[in-house]
Structures are given as C-alpha cells and as structure tokens.
Structure 1
Amino acid sequence: MYSSRFICIGLAAFLACASPANQPHSSSKTNTAATPPITAAPVAAAHAMVVSAHPEATRIGLDVLRRGGNAYDATVAVQFALAVCLPVAGNIGGGGFVVYRGADGSVGALDFRETAPAAASRDMYLDAQGNVVPNLSTTGHRAVGVPGSVAGMWELHQKLGKLPWQELVEPARNLAFELRLTAKEAEGLNGQREAFKRLNPDGTVYLRPDGHSDDLGAGTAWRPWQAGDVLRNLPLARTLDLIQKQGRVGFYQGRTAELLLAEMRRGHGLITQQDLDAYQPKWRTPLRGRYRQYEIIGMPPPSSGGVALLQLLQMLEPYDLRKLGWHSAEAVHLITEAQRRVYADRATYLGDPDFGRVPVNELLDAAYLKQRMQGVTPAGMATPSAQMQAGAGLPGYESDQTTHYSIVDAQGNAVSCTTTLNGSYGSKVVVAGAGFLLNNEMDDFSAKAGVPNMYGVIGGTANAIRPGKRMLSSMTPTIMTEKGQLRLVVGTPGGSTIITSVLQAVLNVLDYSLSPQQAVAAPRLHHQWLPDHIDVEAGALTPAAETELQRRGHRLNPRSPWGRIDLIERRPNGQLEGGADPRGDDTAAGY
C-alpha cells in the first residue's frame, strides 16, 4: 500500500506559500518577480516511479512495476484503473495519446484519439440559419466520438507489453466492486447530478439513491455523495471482465458493443457497429526538437500539443528567463507574446494530418519562429490579439477534465500518457448495463470556423468535422532528455491550458531549478490568443508585476486553479523524483 508520505500537500498550502516577499532577482528597476512556493519534498525513488491523478491508480501501477512489469504494462493497468476511480476523466469510453522512450533510446507515439462517426457531417451542430446549436456538441449522445482507449491499450500491450493482459486489467475489475470516494470525486459527482438524471432516465451508479431501493427510475430520490462513500459499479466490473478475457474484442464487439449501440439508439447518437469495427489506433512518428541542451519528444498532430510546445520553447530560448526572474513582468510578457502567436497558428493550421496537410516543418522552422517574435522585447508592450493573425506564407487550419500519468520503470523505459473524455464526465451519458461514461469529444472539432468551443478555443477549417477524422487536441504528453539520458516525463489535463501548463512546468524545472513538487504546485498563468487576456491563479503575480503588465496593455483575468500536472524528473545521480499536482488527488509513488 502507498505510504502517506506520497500524498501531496493541499492547494491552499501552496497558495499560502506563494508570497511576494523575498523576491528573486529581476532585470527591471522595480523588482516584479515572485517567489516560487515552498512545498513538500518530491517523492524520491531509486528504481521506478508512477505519478497519476488518483492514489489507487498510482498504487496499481506501482504494483505492476514491482511484480516485474514494464512501463507499458503499468500504463495499461493505470488506464483501466482510472476508468474506475476517476470517472470525471479516466475512461474506457474516451481516447488519448502515448509518448514513450525505451531504455535503449527508441521512441514512439501512439494515437488512440476518438474519431468522428461515419454519419457525422461538417454542419451537424448548426441550425437552419447556420448558427451553432448550444450544448449539442457537449452533452448527450450526439456529442460522442468513437472511443479509442481500449483499442489503444490493446495495441500498446501487443507491441511492448511483458506481463499477461489479464493480470493488467484484473486490478481495475476488482476496484469496480468497491471504490471509496475521495472528497473531490464526491463533489464532482454531486455537481453533475442533474445532468446525470436528465441524460440517464433509467438511473446510473453515479447517482446515489436515498435508501436501499434497487428501483432507479424517474421517481427515485437521490442524496449527495460524501467522502468515504463506497461506489460499487457492478456493470463496469462486468465490462472489464469481458475486456480482461477477450481483449479489444470484449469492447468493440459482443455484449459491450451491443449495449453501447443500444445507448446510441436511445439517445439518437451516431455510432454504429461499422464505426466500432473500423476504429484503429495509429502509431505516429514523435516530434523531436531542442531547447537549450535538452531534447524534447512530443506528440504530433492531431495533437496540437507537441507542435505548440516546441514552438514556444524555441521562441523563448533566446531570452535568459532565469535572469529576468520567476513570473517577473518581463518574463511573463515574453511568454505571453509567444503564447499569443502559437495559439493563433494552432487555430489556423492544425488538424488531423490524415485529412489534409499540416505544415509541421514550416511551423517549427527556426527562421519562421524568429520572424514571429520579431520586435518582441522584455520591456515591450502587449500585442493586441485582434492584430495578431497566424503567420503569413504558410498553407492554411478542447477539456478541463482530461487526466495524465507519467511512468518510469526500473529498466529506464518511460511513458507519458494523456487521456480524456473531454469535459467533466464527458457527455454525461453512461452506457446502460455497461457502467462506463461516453466522451463528448466532438466538441473538439470546429463546429463552425471562427466560433469558439467550450474552452473558448477558436478553430478553423483544418479542424472541421469529417467522418472518420480525429479531432484536434491540446494534449501534450512530453518526454525530455539531456545528453542522451532521460530527464523529464510530464503532462497534464486542462483543455486549452494543457500546452501552457506543460510549458511552465518545464521552465520551472529547467530554467528556474524548482523541484518537481514545486514545479507542479506553482501558481500558473495562461494566454491562448483569444480571448485576449492572461488567466491568473492566485499567488502567481506580485502586485508590482500586475501593475506593470497592465501598464503594458495586458488584461489580467483572475481564475480558479486549473490543471493537474504529473511530472517525473531523473536526477544526474539516476534517482527519480516525482511531483504530483496538489490541485487534485494526484499521487506519486516509487520504489
């Protein structure tokens, strides 16, 4: 069992520590830099490490590693465990991305992103006047893309797994019989009670009946979940049993498929048996680039994360961020200007590479990136986003509740996996009789060019809906090396904030020498081109920095905390250190 020392400090504690006192050096006349928070020490281990969004998933993954499984085995086990213990984002009804680096230096990227059903069409979320119909792409059955998670895990295991498949699914199946809820998960389920009732009229295990009646019909009285309550998802246990025994077939065919298709018919969804049969995960070539002396290994399109992170790091490399000071007005200005340009490019050029050319090489060209940052200086003024279009001369083109886990095994294999249902609890539709939630990933397409999705992200024609197409994502699973040795494994949920959160975690460790725990706990900032403001967590800026940024024309938008970064750093002595984000139930453990 995991030790209590693996549990991260709470959010309130790290915000309280993010005092503007004792600020580090800054190049400005008025010191505007902030002090990174003091946090609990990172979890250290000599051999292997798992950092995930839930203590049970971390425990299960670490147990696989202790029993001789490799990082890929642990990935499968953690994925299925999160589908049980983290229903807000963990899933078998969603999809995601894996980036890996083998102990021998080999690298790979697995795309198990959802796809649009064959019956989907470009204007399916527009009314007769051509306007986007509110909520049609975010809740209910028509918001659902063809799930990829089970096929993705099967594919990963077939290629790289070591332990038997059955052993890796078993812990999640057992967990489904009895899961004790954390305070955060109880609160999340309670917050979706009305949506669960509306979209699941025959009831669902995610609603708690008042009393012991087995009748979960429309007249049922419901009472709130509380921390420590036991959630028994017997339908999900049966589904996992089929997946355990039959592999991919146990989900995409037979009883589970029949229940999923019955759910589609009930709610007028689009997925058919042909869609399930046609779904295939895809091995893709990882993106590789450099930042200072480090190599970055990232996810290519249809994830925008790898391209955007490489653009941001290369745009910022000419500047001495450490000298400017952590979250100084000068550093924040530079980072914001880079983010503004990168998100404008994202909206214009990025989409599924199987459905059109995505100009990755041009977007990552050094001359192009230098031109994009031309005129930007640490002392400069803000560039209004209304004046900032995507870069000229190139061919023309998400969810808060995603989840991420980072794993390193005793042999040195590393996995960075981000997986999602998109919004909180996805479409809010639970497959009756099968116990799992379905995604609302269709909202990650551009329902209409120039109209923002649920995260305020603007999209273009490169991300328009087409049958069989993968929707654009912000997921940014990332691995970094230094001098040929593993250095960082990192990723996070957070919708459109994923890219900027990973960027800040990387800068916190590599430029500001923060520990993994400090790096993931530190208050964050975010800019995504449109809307034209900087989202600011409490404690992220000193009053002096706020005043200076506003003087330069930046608009500041206070916002509640976002993201759940899970990070592993390999130290020069070979020791592994884990940072688990205190904004969630995230937990690091190793041996």
Structure 2
Amino acid sequence: MDRIDNRHKPSKNEQELKRSTGTHGMVASAVHEATEIGAKVLRQGGNAMDALAAVQFALGVVEVFNTGIGASGFLVYYDQQTKKTSVINGHSLTPAGADKEQFLDEEGEVIPYFQQSIDAKSVGIPGIMKAMDVGLKEFGTKPLAELIEPAAILAEKGFRVNWQWDEVIEMLHLRLGDEAKKLFMPKGVPLVEGDWVENKDLAKTLRILLQRGIEALYEGEIADAIIDTLKKQGGIMTKEDLKNYQAPIEEAIMGTYRGYEIAVPGPPNGGGIALLQLLGILEGFELEKYSPSSWEKYYLLAEAMRLAFSDKLAYMSDPNFAEIPVEGLLNKDYIKERRKKIDWISRNPEIDCGNPWKYQGSDRPKGQVKVFQTGKDTTHFTVADRWGNVAACTSSNEHIMGSGIMVPGYGFLLNNDLTDFTPEPDHINSLAPKKQPVSAKVPTIVFKDGKPLLTLGSPGGPTIVASVAQVITHILDYGMDIKDAIEEPRIYNSMGPNIWSEEGIGQKEIDKLREMGFEFDDTERPIGNVQAILMDHQKGILHGAADSSRPGSAIGINER
C-alpha cells in the first residue's frame, strides 16, 4: 500500500520566510505574526528575554489552540553577562484538592483518554505567564506593557486564519466547549484558511495584564473568572491554588555530546534527561559513517529511543515527590551498558528500563515502565540578541485545544495538563495534590567551548525528544545547514514496534527495518516542529530556521 503524506506543502514564499541570517539578533517561532513581533522588540533595543515574552503573548493570539494565558511551559535562558544558564519552571501544578483516583470510574477502571482530556478536573494551574513574569523581572529590560501591547492589538484588530487553524478546527472541533466554539466556529460555521478572525475578549484580557501586571491572572479578576468557569463544570481548582503558584528559577541540567555541552531542564521535565541519554547512547557509534537517510541511522535512532524512553517512563517524576536517579541515568558506564542492547540483528525484544540506581551506590530495585497517553501539541520559539543572550521556550495547552474550555469573556483556553500523569494510582508519575506531571518539553541550548552554538526545541508531546535529538545530530554529526537539518525526514519510536515517520524515508530503508521487526503506519506525518538558531561566532552571523510543518518563520536582525 502506498503511504499517505499529511504534511502541508509550503509555497515558495512561505519557504523563504523560514530561513534567515542576522548579525544583531534572531527570532524563530511557529507563526509568522509572532516572529515579526519578537523581531520588532529586538530592533527597538530589547534583549532576548524581552523578545521571547513578546512572542509568547503573540502566540497566545495567533496559536491560541496550542498556547496562551492558560498554558504552561519551560524556559531556558543563557545570560551572556554572567555566563550562566537558568531554567524557569513554569510547568503546571495540580490543585490542592486533586484526588489521585480522579481519572478512574466507579469500578476503578481508567476513564477513556478523550473524556479525561475535556474534563474540568484535568486543568492544571497554568504557569507560563508566571514564568514570563519571573523571566522579565530577572533578565528583561523592557516594561511589561510594551511587550503585551502588540499582542493585544493583534487580537483586537484581527488577522487572517492560516492553514494550521483550518486543519486544527477541522480535525478537533469535537473537543470544543460552547464558549470556544464562538471563536473557532462562529454561528456554527468553522473558520477556514483566509477568514478574518478577531478575539476582542482576549484583547481585553491582555490589557488587564498590561495595566495590572501578571498578578491579575493569579489573584485578580482573571483568576476569579478561571475559578468560576471551572466550578461550573465540576473543576477543583481554587483561588488559593492560583495565588500560591510559583515559577522557580532552577539550574539547567548539563550533559555532553561529542565535546559539546548541552543545557536542558531537569525533572519534573523528563525530556531533558531523555535527550541527554539518547544522545549519550548514540555517541558510542560513528553516526557519520552512515548516510543521513540510511536504514542504519534510523535503526540506531529507533533502538536508542526505546532505551531512553523506557527509562523516562520508569523513573521520571516530580522531584518533590520521588527521588530520581539523575546521576545514574546520565552515568557514562550506565549508558554504555544500555548501549549494548543494540545488537544490529533486530528490534531487540529484551529492551526494557535499566537499573540506574546501582550506578549511584543504591541497591534499590529497578523501576516499572508504565505507558500512558499524553497530549501531542505544543509550540516552541527561540531568540538570540545582539549581546549574546539566548532564550528558548516550549509552552503548551497540553493537547491541541487544551481542555476545550474557554474562559467566557476572556478569550483563552485552559490546559489539560493533568492528563500527563499516569491515571492509575501509586505509580511514580501518578497524580497527587500540588504535584507537577512529567513533561517531555525540552528547550535546549548547545555550547561549544563555553559559548552558545545552537538553540532549538519542538512541540510534539512524546515525539519532542526525538525531533530535537535528530536535528542536533544532523548539525553536529553531519554538518548540515540548519534549515536542511530541520527538514531532513525524522522518525519516532517508543516502546512498541511501530515507527512514526515523515515523508521522504526510502522504501528500501522501510523494508529493511520491517525485516528487523519494526512496523510502519501507512500514513506519513509531521513529527514535531523545530525552531532553531545556529550561532557562527567566527563570522558573527546568526542562522535561524523554522520548520515547514507550521506557518512559522525566522527573522534576522541586521545593523542599520
């Protein structure tokens, strides 16, 4: 059977927007209007943190189904002055009244995922706005109002619906609550590409934040509206939950790959550790010996993913609730032991989680792999400024359209982040009050000789780590141009035999992997949506690129 490709084919004009160079700054995001707003902030003297925040506010307008005021996420920031890389943890948190069995029915069986995902009890305390507020106070230079106003104007005056809106509404309109339908399906008619859309309720909300600060989301009238909306639909969040939320600044986890240093978020972010593990496993092979489109490369990637992801499923959790063997998971000898599972004969049926505890002096037994469904869409954006500061953020409503619950009169969706917990009780990632679920988000900065060389990230839920790892290897192992590295076809494999793949992988390679025990869907699909910036310090040039799988762009800033 011929395989079907679902990837949008960008026009020549769209492709031209997705690659850029600059000497005094760079912005890359998944929607062109948001990239333009971030670039304007850089041109007006703002730094990377200022521009990143402006992009987040704008994406909450033009990519409202993936991120926004009700979203959560992680932010990685490199401060050129202090040479320090920090993580701002704006991930969601469970309300104090959460019940570890709230996604079980009366018989103790797990409620179907769709039902969980549109339940008001799936909404976590949103953190991305708090993270932006903390980031701006710590690293920013521009007033908050100046960074919110462009997004407010965009929401008020409106913009053209792009093809991503068209596809999302067509596929996922059944997730929408009555209030959300007013925006996405006015008078019962779905918006389509080319339609003009305004979100005056969101413009009002942004101006409240502009005038009263981000605190208005956590203590003021927006907070009141969130709680009132959730209570009417059986939610459990309270005003105290919102008021008590904090977005701490944390140290980045640092790993290495072929002489490069890599900065990622740590737990409860599971994506960072998984990325470092995956790259560590690949480091034991001369990847460049094999063509980037060879079955050998795809085989190594698929087996390395299975090794890293089985450990992620077994050991990742909120560190306030469980001890996590980070030292053992990243131990070179442990990774060498895991690497031996790749036998070049077949999809190794013996692959399971390992036991990293013994590599940090503990006799604890190995963990238990628990596979659970997660949301699959998010957004990533990144900025580098003229002074050498670098900012990267991955933020999300969790599932596309989040919970489907839009706050009446305020124009934004609420997340369904609590579906990122394992629904069964008593697992390391089971739901509990005031706990953060494991996240796959992995905004990343790569360093060479102490200087930032590359920053990137991707949406895609469980596929995020796979996308980021492959683009890193395409650049560092194969020496690809940044745009080519992003467009090179990617795969994703978890614990099962089924490999997800993008258009462009050869039939011979697919047939060979099938012989080795892997399976492929008949439908090709975009895997992730990588936004990246590559820094050429010798020439003083920044190279930016946006993935073709969304209507994004990269815009470079040049000295005038």
Both proteins in one fold, TM over 0.5: yes
- Report if the CA contact (8 A) 1:49-1:408 is conserved: yes
Q: Using the alignment, how far apart are the partners of 1:365 and 1:136 within structure 2?
A: 40
**Residue of structure 1 equivalent to 2:76:** 99
What's the CA shift for 1:554?
Answer: 2.1
**For 1:383-402, what aligned pairs fall within 5 Å after superposition?**
383-384=348-349, 387-392=350-355, 394=357, 395=364, 396=367, 398-402=374-378
- Report if the CA contact (8 A) 1:400-1:563 is conserved: no
What secondary structure does 1:327 align onto? coil
**Residue of structure 1 equivalent to 2:36:** 59
Q: Using the alignment, how far apart are the partners of 1:154 and 1:314 within structure 2?
A: 35
**Residue of structure 1 equivalent to 2:50:** 73
Q: Using the alignment, how far apart are the partners of 1:195 and 1:509 within structure 2?
A: 38
Asked if residue 277 in structure 1 is aligned to residue 275 in structure 2, the reply is no
**Residue of structure 2 equivalent to 1:455:** none
**Residue of structure 2 equivalent to 1:125:** 103
- Residues 121-177 of structure 1: CA distance to partner in whole angstroms, max 9, x if unpaired? 111100122211113321131221111121111111111110111101111111110
Q: Using the alignment, how far apart are the partners of 1:183 and 1:525 within structure 2?
A: 24
Q: Using the alignment, how far apart are the partners of 1:315 and 1:501 within structure 2?
A: 16
Q: Aligned to 2:19, which of 13, 37, 42?
A: 42
**Residue of structure 1 equivalent to 2:122:** 143
- Report if the CA contact (8 A) 1:61-1:78 is conserved: yes
**For 1:314-333, what aligned pairs fall within 5 Å after superposition?**
314-333=280-299
- Report if the CA contact (8 A) 1:399-1:495 is conserved: yes
**For 1:477-488, what aligned pairs fall within 5 Å after superposition?**
477-488=443-454
Q: Using the alignment, how far apart are the partners of 1:195 and 1:391 within structure 2?
A: 38
- Report if the CA contact (8 A) 1:109-1:286 is conserved: yes
- Report if the CA contact (8 A) 1:96-1:148 is conserved: yes
**Residue of structure 2 equivalent to 1:413:** 389
What's the CA shift for 1:189?
Answer: 2.8
- Residues 503-541 of structure 1: CA distance to partner in whole angstroms, max 9, x if unpaired? 011111111121111111222101111x3222122212x
Asked if residue 560 in structure 1 is aligned to residue 525 in structure 2, the reply is yes
Q: Using the alignment, how far apart are the partners of 1:346 and 1:424 within structure 2?
A: 23
What secondary structure does 1:416 align onto? strand
- Report if the CA contact (8 A) 1:88-1:401 is conserved: no
**Residue of structure 1 equivalent to 2:3:** none
- Report if the CA contact (8 A) 1:40-1:517 is conserved: no
Q: Using the alignment, how far apart are the partners of 2:198 and 2:260 within structure 1?
A: 46
- Report if the CA contact (8 A) 1:42-1:515 is conserved: no
The 3 A distance-change label for structure 1 pair 152 and 564 is same
What's the CA shift for 1:389?
Answer: 2.1
Q: Aligned to 1:110, which of 77, 80, 88?
A: 88
Q: Using the alignment, how far apart are the partners of 1:448 and 1:96 within structure 2?
A: 24
**Residue of structure 2 equivalent to 1:532:** 497
Q: Using the alignment, how far apart are the partners of 1:162 and 1:533 within structure 2?
A: 48
Per mean C-alpha deviation after superposition, the further-off stretch among 550-559 and 171-180 is 550-559
**Residue of structure 1 equivalent to 2:360:** none
Asked if residue 577 in structure 1 is aligned to residue 546 in structure 2, the reply is no
Q: Aligned to 1:238, which of 184, 196, 204?
A: 204
- Report if the CA contact (8 A) 1:564-1:586 is conserved: no
**Residue of structure 1 equivalent to 2:159:** 179
Q: Using the alignment, how far apart are the partners of 2:116 and 2:475 within structure 1?
A: 38
**For 1:413-432, what aligned pairs fall within 5 Å after superposition?**
413-432=389-408
What secondary structure does 2:428 align onto? helix
Q: Percent same amino acid among aligned pairs? A: 33
- Report if the CA contact (8 A) 1:45-1:575 is conserved: yes
TM-score (norm 1): 0.86
Asked if residue 516 in structure 1 is aligned to residue 482 in structure 2, the reply is yes
Asked if residue 368 in structure 1 is aligned to residue 365 in structure 2, the reply is no
**Residue of structure 2 equivalent to 1:205:** 183
What's the CA shift for 1:95?
Answer: 0.4
- Report if the CA contact (8 A) 2:179-2:406 is conserved: no
Which runs of at least 4 in structure 1 moved beyond 6 Å after TM superposition? Answer: 38-41
The 3 A distance-change label for structure 1 pair 382 and 40 is farther
Q: Using the alignment, how far apart are the partners of 2:181 and 2:291 within structure 1?
A: 53
What secondary structure does 1:405 align onto? strand
**Residue of structure 1 equivalent to 2:424:** 448
Q: Aligned to 2:140, which of 133, 143, 161?
A: 161
**For 1:206-225, what aligned pairs fall within 5 Å after superposition?**
206-209=184-187, 222-225=188-191
Q: Using the alignment, how far apart are the partners of 1:61 and 1:160 within structure 2?
A: 16
What secondary structure does 1:347 align onto? helix
The 3 A distance-change label for structure 1 pair 62 and 345 is same
Q: Using the alignment, how far apart are the partners of 1:172 and 1:39 within structure 2?
A: 24
TM-score (norm 2): 0.91
**Residue of structure 2 equivalent to 1:544:** 508
The 3 A distance-change label for structure 1 pair 120 and 168 is same
The 3 A distance-change label for structure 1 pair 40 and 278 is closer
Q: Using the alignment, how far apart are the partners of 1:40 and 1:434 within structure 2?
A: 32
The 3 A distance-change label for structure 1 pair 41 and 187 is closer
What's the CA shift for 1:227?
Answer: 2.1
- Residues 39-81 of structure 1: CA distance to partner in whole angstroms, max 9, x if unpaired? 9983111110000011111000010111111000111111111
What's the CA shift for 1:323?
Answer: 1.0
What's the CA shift for 1:191?
Answer: 3.6
What's the CA shift for 1:203?
Answer: 5.5
**Residue of structure 1 equivalent to 2:380:** 404
- Report if the CA contact (8 A) 2:384-2:391 is conserved: yes
